[in-house]
Chains A and B, each alone.
Chain A
Amino acid sequence: MNPRDLDELLSARDLPPLPPGRVGQIERAVLADLKPVRPLAPAGAYLAGLAGIFIAVCAAGAYIAGQYGWLVLSDLQRIAVFVPLAAVAAVLVFSLVRQMSPGAKHTRSSALLAAVLFSLLLVGMIAVFQPAHEHAFVAMGLGCFRMGMIVAMPAAFLFVLLLHRGAAVSPALTGAAAGGLAGLAGLAVLEVRCPNLNLYHIIVWHISVVVVCMIAGLVFSSVTFRRWRSNQ
C-alpha cells in the first residue's frame, strides 16, 4: 500500500450529511445578536503595551524599594540574573501577543521556550550564589515575598486589563503566562532591592513570587473562562 492509496482511502470517507435546517437555525441565532465589534488592536500595540507595563512596573518598583541589591551584586551575578530574566520576560510578552488571536503561529512553543529560559535562570542563580545559614530565614524571607507580590499585583491587574479581550482558546496558558510575567516584574524588583545573596533565600522567597503568580494566573483565568462559558 503506497501513500496515494492511503490518501484515497482517507479522502473517500462517507461522512453523515449536514442535517437540513441546521444552518438556518444557526444563522437565526447569530443574526439575532449581531452587533458591530471592534477587532483586536494590532499585535504591535499589544507588544508595546505589555513591554511598557513590565518596564514601568519594574522601574517604579526599583525606584520606590531601593537598589541595595544591585549595589552588592558582582558583574557575573548581574549577568546571570538579569539577562535570562529579561529573555524570559521578552519571550512571555511575544507568547502573550500571539495568544491574543486564535490560530496565531507558535503560541505554545514560545511558552515552552519561556519555561526553558526560566530553568536556565534557576541554573544560573544556583551557579553564582552560595548557600548560607540564616537565623531569621522566614521573617526576612516573608518581607521579600510580600514586596515581590506588592510589585506583581499591579502588573497583573494591568495585564488583565490589556489582555481581557483576547485569549479565547487557551485561557489557562494565557493566565499562567501573564501571571508569570507579573511575577517576573516582582522578581526583578527583588533582585535590585534585596542585598541578601543567600541562595536558599533567593530560591525560596524570590523565585516563589513567580511560581505563585503563575499558579494564581492559571487559576484565575480558568475560573473566569469557565464562568464565561457557562453564561454563553
Chain B
Amino acid sequence: MSRYQQADSAAASELIDRLSPQLYRFFAAELGNADDASDMLQEAWLRIHRVRHTYRPGEPLLPWLYAIARCVRVDSFRKRRRIASREIGVESLPERAAILGGAPAVPGFDELIATLPQSQREVLTLLKVNGLSLEEVARATSSSVGSVKQKAHRAYERLRELLQGAEAKKGAVP
C-alpha cells in the first residue's frame, strides 16, 4: 500500500489483483447480481484511489479498505433507492412472489440472509464471506468489537430459528 501511495504501478496492479476478488465477494454477497457487484467494485477502486492518502502506513489495511467499500455500497444503495422510487415497481412484485412460491422448503443463503436487518447482514457477510476478524469488522463498520459480537450472535439466533422452522415445515409435509 505504501508503494502504491508512492505511485509504484506494479504495487498498484498487485494490490488490485489480490484484493478485487475479496471486495467483489463483499458486494456480490449483498447484491447477488454480478453486473451490479462488478460496477460497485470499479466504483470502490476509484474511491480507494482517490482517498489512498488517508491510509497511514503501519495501520491494518483490510478495515481501511472495507470501510471505504462499505461507504461505496451505502451510496450505491441510496442511489438505487432514489431511482427505484421514481420507477413503477409493479412488474417486479409478481416475479419475486413467483420465485418465493417455487422455493424449496429449506431456504438458501440468499433467502435466509435477506430476512436479517442490514447491520446484522453486513456483519455476517464480513465475518463469514470475507473472513475478516471481529476486530477488523469493528474497525470497518466504525463500531466496537462487543457490538459486532452482539450483532453476529443475534443474526445466528435468527438464522437458527428460521432454519428450524423450515425443517419442521419440511418434516410436516407428507
Contact = CB atoms under 8 A, between A and B. Distances in A.
Contacts of A100: 54
B34 A16 contact: yes
A22 B128 CA distance: 25
B41 A26 contact: yes
Interface stretch (B7-15, B88-96, B97-105): B7-15
Contact of A34 (B12, B17, B140): B12
Interface string A15-47: 111110011011101110111111110110000
Kindly state the interface size class of chain A when it binds its partner: 35 or more
Contact of A1 (B7, B35, B124, B167): B167
A16 B140 CA distance: 24
B43 to A, nearest CB: 9
A136 B62 CA distance: 58
A38 B53 contact: yes
Nearest to A30: B49
Contacts of B33: 16
B157 to A, nearest CB: 10
B138 interface: yes
A114 B13 CA distance: 41
B159 A6 contact: yes
A166 B13 contact: no
B140 to A, nearest CB: 6
A130 B54 CA distance: 48
Nearest to B136: A103
Contact of B45 (A9, A26, A35): A26
A10 interface: yes
Chain B interface mostly: helix
Contacts of A27: 12-13, 16-17
B42 A26 contact: yes
Nearest to A10: B128
Contacts of B46: 29-30, 232
B150 interface: no
A165 B50 contact: no
A23 B160 contact: no
Would you list the 7 A-B pairs with minimal beta carbon distance, nearest first?
A: A103-B63, A102-B67, A16-B34, A103-B64, A168-B51, A37-B53, A10-B128
Interface of A: 1, 3, 6-7, 9-11, 13, 15-19, 22-23, 25-27, 29-31, 33-40, 42-43, 100-109, 165-166, 168-170, 229, 232
23 contacts: A7-B128, A11-B128, A13-B29, A16-B28, A16-B37, A22-B38, A31-B13, A34-B7, A36-B5, A39-B54, A39-B55, A40-B56, A43-B56, A102-B71, A103-B65, A103-B139, A105-B138, A106-B142, A106-B144, A109-B144, A165-B53, A165-B54, A170-B142
